[in-house]
Amino acid sequence: MSRLPLRSRLTLLTAVAVAVAVALAALACWAITRDQLRGELDRSLRQPDIVQNTQIADTLNTRGCLPAAPKPDTTDPADPYTFITTSTSAQVVLSSGRACWVQGHAEIPVGAQDRAVATGQATDALHTVTAPGGGKLRVYTFQARINFQPAAISVARPLSDVDRPLTRLAWVLLAVSGIGVLGAASAGLVIARTGLRPVDTLTQTVEHIARTEDLNVRIPVTGQDEIARLSTSFNAMTAALASSRDRQQQLIADAGHELRTPLTSLRTNIELLERSEATGRALPPEDRRALLASVKAQMTELAALIGDLQELSRPDAARTLDVVPLHRVTEAALERARLRGPDLQLVADVRPWYVRGEAAALERAIVNLLDNAVKFSPPGGEVEVRLHDGQLTVRDHGPGIPAEELPHVFERFWRSPDARSLPGSGLGLSIVARTVQQSGGEVALAPAPGGGTLAALRLPGAPTAPPGELPAS
């Protein structure tokens, strides 16, 4: 079944379901009809004109007690002694067990139930017997008195009166069931083709995308059923994939552009050193030291850029969020910032605050904010850091950021025209925004009152660690 196409499976399942339903309905119809016909047969044997007939004694007295041998020609309706239908046989059963034929075509065997009724041990009996010819007879025996002697009258009808109509009904039901199953299979095929047409469209679109890698293809959405929801979800997925691919290509292009400058400078400096060694003309010691310092700075810049790219490429699923003491993370970031700007004054006011996040990523984000503040602060300037009620602010007294540039500060590789001559990759604030977003917080940059820039970072948390959870070190 699993190897068949979905359309064939739906058609087959529809045909099977209809076949089972039709078979059960036909079986129920046949069983109800059988019970009704047999009930009618039993009621016909108990008709009052048979049970209450008082001419039987006169019949037997006139004819005498004849042997129990049927005489077909005596059941003529014109016979004044015929009191039941021609398909019915009747006989008298005496208390001695002897049977006297009255009318009919079939010979009725006398059984124990008939003798019990004839002797007065039972009032009546309804049962089925097999005639000497092999046919089945339905027999009803009731009490009677013949010449003031106890006796019984047995009235019988062949079960073929019921079985023949039942057989014809069975063939009719079988034919109708077959026609119904074929019609259901045809209807199921039409329904499957119509219902799966949107799925065929979706399949063709997926195959087209797999073949051409064209993520701009969209599936037309009509209605609000499951197929429409599936088409909408697929369109959303392809749109997300297209956006992700565009961002990836943009990241590669931007990374290549950012890597080209330090690599070109590094290559130039190394070629100068190599040419000096090849020509035998040594560079002045001061120039040589300057070249080596430039090479070292460029290597450091490349390492920082590669680290930033690795940070941005990490999937969100790879991160585990623990309880982190944000105040301790901030203090560690301040120690690192003091090493990078020893001539600056870092004024800190840090209060306890516990958040859920990744300690190393949060420290890197805070270091990036401090690096920006240190980079744009004047020599001997002051950087103010405060952590109160889950809000961390970093304020510098530099030139500030123009209002038209604020919407772009968290974009990857974006650098203001004034900062392009300074070290950096343009990824620091992007890493800050991503880290804060993963911890459920928000970050923003704004002009500070009196000049400079104010970076505000807010993370949900509490001033004390949750009970039973140890903060990550």
Per residue in 313-332, pLDDT tens?
A: 666 544 667 889 999 999 98
Domain membership flag for residue 30: no
CATH classification at residue 415: 3.30.565.10
Amino acid 81: pLDDT: 41
Q: Does 331 lie in the same domain as 307?
A: no
Contact, 53 vs 85, CB < 8 A?
no
Q: Does 418 lie in the same domain as 393?
A: yes
Q: Which of 195-209, 222-236, 349-363, 364-378 has the highest mean pLDDT?
A: 349-363
Amino acid 271: pLDDT: 84
Q: Does 426 lie in the same domain as 366?
A: yes
pTM reported for the whole predicted model: 0.45
Q: Does 456 lie in the same domain as 410?
A: yes
Q: Does 267 lie in the same domain as 147?
A: no
Looking at 313, 329, 347, the residue that finishes a domain is 313
Mean pLDDT along residues 237-251: 79
Is residue 258 predicted with pLDDT exceeding 50?
yes
Residues, the chain = 473
Q: Does 288 lie in the same domain as 368?
A: no
CATH classification at residue 94: 3.30.450
Q: Does 442 lie in the same domain as 324?
A: yes
Domain membership flag for residue 470: no
User: Bridge partners of 325?
Assistant: 354
Looking at 261, 295, 313, the residue that finishes a domain is 313
Give start and end residues of each alpha helix (H) in 119-225. Answer: 160-195, 197-212
Q: Does 402 lie in the same domain as 305?
A: no
Domain membership flag for residue 27: no
Domain membership flag for residue 405: yes
Q: Does 395 lie in the same domain as 413?
A: yes
Mean pLDDT along residues 68-93: 56
Q: Where is average pLDDT lowest: 144-148, 220-224, 255-259, 380-384?
A: 255-259
Q: Does 327 lie in the same domain as 233?
A: no
Domain membership flag for residue 73: yes
Amino acid 456: pLDDT: 92
Q: Where is average pLDDT lowest: 20-24, 153-157, 326-330, 398-402?
A: 398-402
Domain membership flag for residue 272: yes
- Tell me how many domains the chain contains: 3
Looking at 138, 159, 180, the residue that finishes a domain is 159
Q: Where is average pLDDT lowest: 93-102, 137-146, 262-271, 337-346?
A: 337-346
- State the Cα–Cα distance between residues 261 and 271, nearest whole angstrom: 15
Is residue 75 predicted with pLDDT exceeding 50?
no
User: Bridge partners of 189?
Assistant: none
- 3-state class (DSSP) for residue 329: helix
Stated as kind and residue range, the H or E segment containing 64 is none
Domain that holds residue 105: 52-159
Q: Does 416 lie in the same domain as 334?
A: yes
Per the prediction, the chain carries an average pLDDT of 78
Is residue 397 predicted with pLDDT exceeding 90?
no
Q: Which amino acid is at 118?
A: A
Q: Residue 364 gets which letter from DSSP?
A: H
Domain membership flag for residue 193: no
Q: 337 falls in which pLDDT band (50, 70, 90)?
A: confident
Domain membership flag for residue 196: no
Amino acid 237: pLDDT: 87
CA distance between the termini of the chain: 57
Q: Does 338 lie in the same domain as 456?
A: yes
CATH classification at residue 275: 1.10.287.130
Cα–Cα distance list, 48 to 54, 90, 144, 162 (Å)? 11, 15, 14, 21
Who wins on pLDDT, 348 or 59? 348
Amino acid 358: pLDDT: 85
